[in-house]
């Protein structure tokens, strides 16, 4: 009887320990990444950097819907504005960015471009330097 009780207590202890130490399933999140073809451009508006945004749903499938790209200065091509709303195609959006100091005197220096999709965001910085 004592042996049975000891075995029962041991199995209960092992069960409790296993439940607390069992690997927990990680919660999945949406991801958004952004990259640029150039990290530095001239402030003449002649050369633009390609921006690539990739979105992945929490289930691992390509993101869908629209992504908003924002900058304080410069423009998204072909929109001609510092912001653009672009539809994701197979989880990806591609457009170009340039900054012309002739049109916007604040184009010189580091420019931050942000992307926002659903509840997540990403960004890149591009240095815009005066043409010599």
* Structure-token match 């958004």, residue found: 32
Mean pLDDT of the chain: 86
> What's the CATH fold of domain 31-129?
Immunoglobulin-like (2.60.40)
Euclidean distance between CA atoms 26 and 32, whole angstroms: 18
User: By the 8 A CB rule, do 127 and 119 touch?
Assistant: no
Specify the pTM.
0.77
User: By the 8 A CB rule, do 70 and 123 touch?
Assistant: no
**Region of residue 31 (left: phi > 0; alpha: psi -120 to 50; beta: else):** beta
For the chain, the domains span 31-129
Q: What is the pLDDT of residues 26-52, one digit of tens each?
A: 678 999 999 999 999 999 988 999 999
**Tokens encoding 82:** 């510092």
> CA-based Rg of the chain, rounded to a whole angstrom?
25
User: By the 8 A CB rule, do 52 and 69 touch?
Assistant: no
Confidence band of 78 (pLDDT split at 50, 70, 90): confident
């Amino acid at each position: 009887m004592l042996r049975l009780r000891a075995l029962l207590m041991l199995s209960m202890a092992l069960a409790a320990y296993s439940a607390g130490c069992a690997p927990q399933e990680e919660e999945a999140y949406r991801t958004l990444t952004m990259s640029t073809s150039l990290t530095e451009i001239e402030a003449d508006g002649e050369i633009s950097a390609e921006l690539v945004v990739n979105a992945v749903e929490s289930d691992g499938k390509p993101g869908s819907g629209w992504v908003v790209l924002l900058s304080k200065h410069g423009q998204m091509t072909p929109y001609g504005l510092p912001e653009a709303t672009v539809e994701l195609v197979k989880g990806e959006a591609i457009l170009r960015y340039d900054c012309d100091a002739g049109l916007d005197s604040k184009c010189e220096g580091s420019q931050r471009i942000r992307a926002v999709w659903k509840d997540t965001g990403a960004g890149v910085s591009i240095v815009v330097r005066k043409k010599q």
